[in-house]
Amino acid sequence: MSNLPPPPPPPPGGRGQQHGPQPPAGGKNRALGSGWPRWSIPVLLAVLVGMLLLNQVWPSEEGEKLSYTEFITAVEDDQVAKFTVTDGSNAISGELVNGDKFTTTARDNFPLESEKELFATHNVEVNYKAPESNWLLSSIGLLLPFLLIIGFLVWMNKRAQGQMGNVMSIGRSRAKAYSADKPSTTFADIAGYDGVKQEITEVVDFLRMPERFREIGARVPKGMLLVGPPGTGKTLFARAVAGEAGVGFLSVTGSDFMEMFVGVGASRVRDLFQQARKLGRAIIFIDEIDSIGRKRGAGLGGGHDEREQTLNQMLAEMDGFETSEGIVILAATNRPDILDPALLRPGRFDRQIVVPLPENEERLAILKVHSRDKRMGPDVDMEVMSRATPGMSGADLANLVNEAALFAVRRGSKQIERIDFENARDRVVLGARRESLVLSADEKRATAIHEGGHAILTVLLPNADPLHKVTILPRGMALGVTWSLPEERHTYSKEYFEDRICISMGGRAAEKIVFGNLNSGAANDLEMATSIARRMVREWGMSEAVGPMAWTGHQQVFLGEDLMTQGREYSDETAKMIDNEIAAMLLRQESRALEVLSKHRRALDSVAEALLERETIDGAEVANLVHGSLDSAPAEQPASVD
C-alpha cells in the first residue's frame, strides 16, 4: 500500500530537454490528380437531362396559347382557318383567319364525330401528323448497353493499373521529406541539453559549411544514435535538426521497412539512400531503429530473415562501395542493448548521445515552456513544482501541466492555481482517486496503521528520502499511499537501500504490533523489498557472504542470445547462498522495523488517529507528531533510534 519508488541503478549524470508547441508537420494542399475535375460529372449529367427535356421546356411551335374551350368557340365564330393535330399527344397548332398562330391541347378521343361535323360546317382545314421522333432518346436507347460495357472495361483497367502500381511501388521508401524552407522546431525551442545540442549542431554545421571541416581534414560521423528513456525528447531533437539543417531531411520509422513480402525491407533501404543522394547533402532520421537493428541470429529459428536482410542492406549502404558523402544518419532508440554490434562500430553510428531524464533546472525550464501559453495563478511556483517532480521526463511534465489545466476547468476557475498542480501531480504519480471504493471501519483503521508505519520509519531513518504526504484515500490500485520525494542523486549507498527495505517492511510490522496478525495489504511492499534485496546481492555486490560478484538477469532469446547457451551462470550452492542472503537481509530489516515501531508506539497511534480524522496529512505534520510523542514519552523510553 506504500508508494515507494523502485531503486534505480546508478545512472550516469545527464540533462533533459523539451520544447514548446509544435507547428503542424505539413500543409493541407495536395497535388491534384491528372483526371477530370470533381464537378465535371454533375455538369455532364445536367446537360444530358436538359437535352432530353428540351422539347418539353422549349416548344417547337410559336403562337398564342388557347384553352380547348376557347379553341372550340373560335371555330364556332369562324375565326379558325386551319389546324394540325399531332397523333398521340393531341397537341394542336393552327392558324386563325387573321393570320395569327395559336396552340392548344385537345382532350382524349379527339376528334369526336360531333367535332368533325363542326369543323366541316365552318370550313376549317384539319390535318393530322405523326409525332416527331427524338433522335437523342433513340440514340441513347441504342448506345446505352455499349456505353455500360465500355465504362465497365475502363473501370477494370484503372483498377488493375492501380493494383499494379501498388505492387510495383511496394519496395519504395516511405520516408517523409522535409524541405529546408519549411517551418519546424529549432534548437531555440528546446529547454536544456546544451551538450546534446553542441554535438548535433556540429553535424548541422558540417552539412551547411562542409569546407570549414575539410580544410583541416576533419570528418563528421556518419551516424549519431540518440539513446534515452521514453519521453525525453529524442524524436523532438530530430525535428529540431530538420528545422536547423537547411538541407534535405528524410524521416522514417523502423517499422516502415518491414512488410509481408520478402526483400521489401532491403529494397526500401536502397530507395531511401537513393533519395538522400539525389538531395546532395541530407539527413536521414530513423526513429525506433531497434525494430530493424536487433542482433542478428536472434530467435529460435535463426532469427527473422527479412529483418536481418534489411539490417545487412543498411550496413552496406552506410559504408559500402557506393559513397554516401554528405549524408548523415540520425537514429533514436531506448533499447541500445539489443542493437547489433556491427551497427554501433566506428564508421557507422560513431556516437551515442545520451538523452537522460531532466534534472531540476531542466524540469523548471520545461515547465515554463509548457505553461507559457496558459493562464497561471499568482500562487503557482514553478521552482517548487520542479523540485517536487524528480524522475519525470519531458513528456510527463507536459502531461502534468495539461492535467493541472483540466483540474482548473473542473473547479470552474479561470486560471490554474497551486491546488490544481498538486491534484495533477497526485493523479499522475499516485493514480486517480477511487471515489466509489468505500472501506469499512476495520479496513480503514488497518490502512491507517499500515501507512503510519511507513511514515514513521521514513521520518526516523537517517538515509530515507524526505516524506511528502500520507493518505488513506484509495488511489489507483492502492488503499493508501505513503509518498516520499527522492532527492536527486546518481549513486546509492548500501545504507540507503537497507533503509528502503526497512520502510517497505514498516506497514507489515505496524500491523503485527497493533493487531498481532497480518493481512494481504503488504503484498506490494514485500515484492518491492525482495526486488531491492535481490539486486543488492546479485548485481551490486552488497552482500559480505556472496562478495564482489554480480549476476544479471537472464537475457531473453529474442534479444540476440542463442537458445542453447541460456542457463544459470552459477552453481546450485551459489544459488542457495544467494537465496539465504536475500532472506536474511529481509528478516533483518523486518526485525529492525519492529524494533523501531515498538519503541515509537505512541507516535504510531498519533499518526494513525490523525489519518483516521483527516485522511491525508503532509510530511511536516507527521514529523511534528513523531517528535511530539518523543517529548511526551517517559524518561526511561529511548528518544532516538540507532
Give the rounded distance of the alpha carbon of 215 from its chain centre: 44
Grid coordinates given for 62:
410559336
Would residue 211 show up in a list of annotated catalytic residues for this protein?
A: no
Q: Tell me if 326 sits within 8 A of 281, measured CB to CB.
A: yes
SS3 412: coil
As a whole number of angstroms, the distance between CA 483 and CA 465 comes to 10
Q: Which residue has the cell 533514436?
A: 332
Relative to beta strand 349-354, strand 223-227 is parallel
- 111 upstream amide cis, omega within 30 of 0: yes
Catalytic residue among 451, 498, 511, 590: 451
As a whole number of angstroms, the distance between CA 394 and CA 228 comes to 12
To the nearest 10 degrees (0 to 180), the angle between helices 619-631 and 601-614 is 140
Give the side-chain half-sphere CA count within 13 A for 509: 29
At CB < 8 A and 24+ separation, what contacts does 596-599 make? 596/456, 596/457, 596/460, 596/461, 596/502, 596/641, 597/453, 597/456, 597/457, 597/506, 597/509, 597/510, 597/513, 598/513, 599/637, 599/638, 599/641
As a whole number of angstroms, the distance between CA 250 and CA 264 comes to 19
As a whole number of angstroms, the distance between CA 493 and CA 464 comes to 11
Nearest to 642 by CA among 456, 493, 509, 461: 461
Sign of CA dihedral 272, 274, 280, 281: positive
Give the side-chain half-sphere CA count within 13 A for 549: 11
Give the side-chain half-sphere CA count within 13 A for 328: 28
Q: How is residue 574 annotated by DSSP?
A: H
Other beta carbons within 10 angstroms of residue 276's beta carbon come to: 25
Catalytic residues: 451
